[in-house]
Chain A
């Protein structure tokens, strides 16, 4: 078992693309860590640099107590699961799972026994003689996991392990993955572009943009207090309301209304400052009668989300979203009032950073 430390890690590709930019990061032993970001943000490059498949331009990678920056991937004691699983099509499941052990020189009977044990544990009984082509996507994913588990590494690296599964299977695989990681207690880094996956699985999340970490924190921190408007935009299944606002006499003026704002943030701002008023649709309560200090507007669109609905309200030229429980959706065209839940309002400086 081992933690991972990255110091001033930089990766510049030939051609000048700076995929990872002077990045410092510590991942604790046994942690389930997510690298989250839009495509092209450098998260996969970062993972591949930890694996040793990419050599950093500068900086250091430490796994456990060992500096592995210049070490080939095979010596780092890591196991990686690729997005396409990279199962060898000409080997059956047993041989696939046992292949890392074969490279390590383990005898045939030993490695087949271990492959069988791991396969049984991951619910692959009865599939061990099949070729990957004869397995479903979910089964292939479990074989790839089994292969990683069988080599008992210090670190697991997962590159979008769930993205090739259909939506329903993804939820099952997610639970399975989390339980497996808890059981084994192996430090795990996984890359995803799906914020809900990161929130559900990870102990800590690093939200990345353009090769840098924009926020590092627990899912609760990242969801509840996004450090900047980029993270606020990226996290959450419904887009966060981010409205231009101005500080006025201990309140903020948003869409022509003066509304309450957190006192600690206001203390750091001066009267007349331009800010961004942020609140998630989930924390907006919608009423059909006038409320003091609430935004008023007319309902323009109602989107059904299953157990709730997302209502878009046009307030003075701005669209503000709010979720309402199912059955209480207002009709489009009605006038409604939106009040933010206390303590859920965030103010951002004009440059996008949390005030």
Chain B
């Protein structure tokens, strides 16, 4: 008697648990479903429905003069920032991990704290003024240049990247480097041959994280780039409205889908190649 009651209670608990999980996953799955169906619908609404299949939306996006160039701009900005952040973080986290400077940890924390300010809203006016003035010295790093966006984004992301990567470098036994040093390797050579391969999961993590950050950042390119031909996809989305000022759901969803595909592909590739690990740790 008692046993069957226990069993009933167990089953009921399971049912409630699964129901809850289903509702939760529906909540997250609906927008994804919308993103997958709306672009193929001739007249999408906010609701998720079986689309009346068409590829017209894609054709129309293709006719938008800035759609393709904005995706190219996004790729250029993301990749350039990624290269700077990965190279800079590898060099500086190696140095910070191995060289004893007084106040090193405090420096790292302060940098980390301030970095969120650089790409944040609060610093936008000073950054805009700084870039404007830089542009008067050399217009290649002024307003309307990709270089300016890349530099600002790198500056904002580097501290956190250094912070993350330092953990990976810290986990490499010092004897590896000392061994290389006794054989005559320079510090740069050691970084290239020994340290970088051992922290490659960390480098991959930072590369992906940087690309995703730049890819999704609206504010910095919006403020620093005026020329619509140079604006990345995140900024272009803002222009996909009808003449009446209503969001053009067909174009928005289509462009959003195109906008997400590269990031998803990159995730799949990197996760397959390196595997994501957020903690270093080398078993020798």
Contacts and interface: CB of A to CB of B under 8 A. Distances in A.
Contacts of A72: 181
Contacts of B178: 53, 73, 80, 82, 86
A103 B185 contact: yes
A99 B193 contact: yes
B259 to A, nearest CB: 36
Contacts of B198: 88-90
B26 to A, nearest CB: 45
* Residue with the greatest number of chain A CB neighbours at <10 A, chosen from B179, B189, B197: B179
A74 B284 contact: no
Query: Which range contains the number of B residues in contact with the other chain?
Result: 10 to 19
Contact of B176 (A53, A74, A86, A133): A86
A222 interface: no
A248 B176 CA distance: 60
A121 interface: no
Contacts of A87: 284
Interface in B234-284: 282-284
A86 B180 CA distance: 9
A132 interface: yes
Nearest to B197: A90
Contacts of B185: 74, 103
A322 to B, nearest CB: 44
Given A83-B175, A99-B193, A100-B184, 4 more contacts: A80-B179, A87-B284, A88-B198, A100-B183
10 tightest Cβ-Cβ pairs between the two chains A and B = A74-B184, A86-B179, A100-B183, A86-B175, A82-B175, A90-B197, A73-B182, A80-B182, A103-B184, A103-B185
Interface of B: 173, 175-176, 178-185, 189, 193-194, 197-198, 282-284
28 contacts: A53-B181, A73-B178, A73-B184, A74-B183, A74-B185, A75-B184, A78-B182, A79-B182, A79-B183, A80-B178, A80-B179, A84-B175, A85-B284, A86-B173, A86-B176, A88-B176, A88-B193, A88-B198, A89-B282, A89-B283, A89-B284, A90-B198, A99-B183, A99-B193, A103-B189, A132-B284, A133-B284, A157-B182
